[in-house]
Amino acid sequence: MAKVSTTAVEQEPAGSAGFGRPAVWTLVITSVAGFMAALDNLVVTTALPSIRADLGGQLSDLEWTVSAYTLTFAVLLMFGAALGDRFGRRLFFLSGLAIFTAGSAAAALAPTINWLIAARALQGVGAAVMMPLTLTLLTTAVPAARRGMAFGIWSGVNGLAVATGPLIGGVLTQHLSWQWIFWLNVPIGLLLLPLARLRLSESRGAGARLDAVGTALVSSALFGIVFGLIRANADGWTSGPVLTGLIAGAVLLVGFVRYELRAAHPMLPMRLFRSRAFSAVNAASLLMYLGMFGSIFLISQFLQGSGGYTPTEAGIRMLPWTGMPLIVSPIAGVLSDRIGGRPIVATGLALQALGLAMFAAVTHSGGSYGAQVPSLVVCGIGMSLYFAPTANLVMASVRPQEQGIASGANNAMREVGGALGVAALSSVFTARGGYGSTQRFTDGLVPALYVGAAAVAAAALCALLIPRARPADPAVTPADAHTLQSA
């Protein structure tokens, strides 16, 4: 039987600096599971024409095949983390993985567009339960001295999934069928389930209790905000449903904060935000995903529409950007163990902003794909440097028993940032250009990319607010502070 532990401190062997077999298994299982969940954010985008040809539906229906996943994923992330902390992280990781796998099979078998939308929502539920627990399970299994490397690999794999979603979706749709973008998950999920049951150790948050009121408030708030962001382009920012979602979400979010300040056992202790590290890294994550998600969404369409490439060819031409995390992130993780994550994250975000601005400038001047390659490489290096140390910074900014909810909060920030990025940059694109011709697309793309670059540059400034060292925080006890500093 696997031993149940309550904190990462109890699980770590005294003086261990190695990377033993249990840690390796945990890294492999959580990275593969995270890859599947992250991949499905954008994998559908290049398959939409084929889905419409087979299942029919209006443009709004096709949008929901993407949005249903993003919406349930973002809304339930913190709830999934809280369930794992309360009842067992391995148990709910397995539950989330099973739901995600079943949702993938249901999506592949979908006979109608409405069935597909419902299956995508089910996938999002499973991913929301599974995804934040991958990070807490990894933190528990890996010795503190090697977490930078482990988080670098985990983050690189997840970043690669986000960035290569359109490529993988395009290859499978073009050479097999759109159903295979979902069938791909099924054998992987069925293989991971017994491996996770046998190889992962169970752990829980110390004294964790389920905050039902707080969970309901934050889930409803995120639903309203993300729903409004997703529907803003289709319905208009001033439409009734969009304004209702955004305003109601904001009001509920304020109510959540006020309730958590008074709650005896809050799901997200507000004192965590008194930690400059926790606040700064979450702000940086939201802004980074705003700029990155929105830019990838538009650039992949630009290469297919204006460049005349097939989905597969467009994805291949994105590889100077999207392939970088696999190479750079593990190296950046090792460096973060030696010099700390702050300078690496700030440098990465600055390079990502520079790369987006370079791509916009070259595109504006009518440069060829060859002239765009250097900007894609800079974007890829910057994204890789961001992904690698961020997880370590998040986990080291809170108590070990609060790492589950911290992971859930950070993942929720990323998903909300991604939804905001697609909505905001698409609005800039629509206001300044459109799909009518290559010139109109370029007219819209260039200012949108500059907005994305500005968002990522703001993220770099937030990263500079992360403390150089990790001093004892008001949210951290002296004993925990020693542990976190060593991490």
Lowest mean pLDDT among 52-61, 77-86, 90-99, 242-251: 52-61
pLDDT band at 237 (very low <50, low <70, confident <90, very high): confident
Question: pTM of the prediction?
Answer: 0.72
Give the pLDDT score at 260. Answer: 83
| Tokens encoding 190 | 């069925």
- Count of CB atoms within 10 A of residue 287's CB? 27
Q: Which fold would CATH assign to domain 20-192+269-486?
A: Growth Hormone; Chain: A; (1.20.1250)
- The DSSP secondary structure of 350-412, one letter per residue, reads HHHHHHHHHHHHHHHTT--HHHHHHHHHHHHHHHHHHHHHHHHHHHHTS-GGGHHHHHHHHHH
- pLDDT given for residue 209 in this prediction: 65
pLDDT classification of 21: cutoffs 50, 70, 90: confident
pLDDT in tens, 4-18: 444 433 344 433 344
Q: Where exactly does CATH 1.20.1250.20 map onto the chain?
A: 20-192+269-486
pLDDT digits (tens, 9 = 90+) for 146-196: 766 777 777 677 777 766 777 788 788 878 888 898 998 899 999 989 988
pLDDT at residue 53, as a whole number = 76
Average pLDDT, the chain: 77
Give the model confidence (pLDDT) of 104-117 as tens digits. 999 999 888 889 98
pLDDT of residue 5: 43
Dihedral-angle region of residue 184 (phi above 0 means left; psi in -120 to 50 means alpha; beta otherwise): alpha
Span 26-52, average pLDDT: 79
End-to-end CA distance of the chain: 28
Confidence label for 57 from pLDDT (cuts 50, 70 and 90): low
With 90 as the cut, is the pLDDT of residue 350 above it?
yes
Q: What is d(CA 149, CA 344) in angstroms, rounded to the nearest whole number?
A: 13
- pLDDT confidence band for 459 (50 / 70 / 90): very high
Query: Which pLDDT score, from 0 to 100, does residue 63 have?
Result: 67
- Condensed to tens digits (0 to 9), the pLDDT of residues 407-437 reads 667 777 777 787 778 778 877 887 787 776 7
Per the document, the length of the chain is 487
Tokens found for residue 63: 């949008």
Band (pLDDT 50/70/90 cuts) for residue 457 is very high
Cα 125 → chain centroid = 14
Residue 467 has pLDDT above 90, yes or no: no
Look up tokens 């752990």; give the residue. Answer: 203
Is the confidence at residue 476, as pLDDT, over 70? no
**Tens digit of each residue's pLDDT (9 = 90 or more) over 117-136:** 899 989 988 988 888 787 77
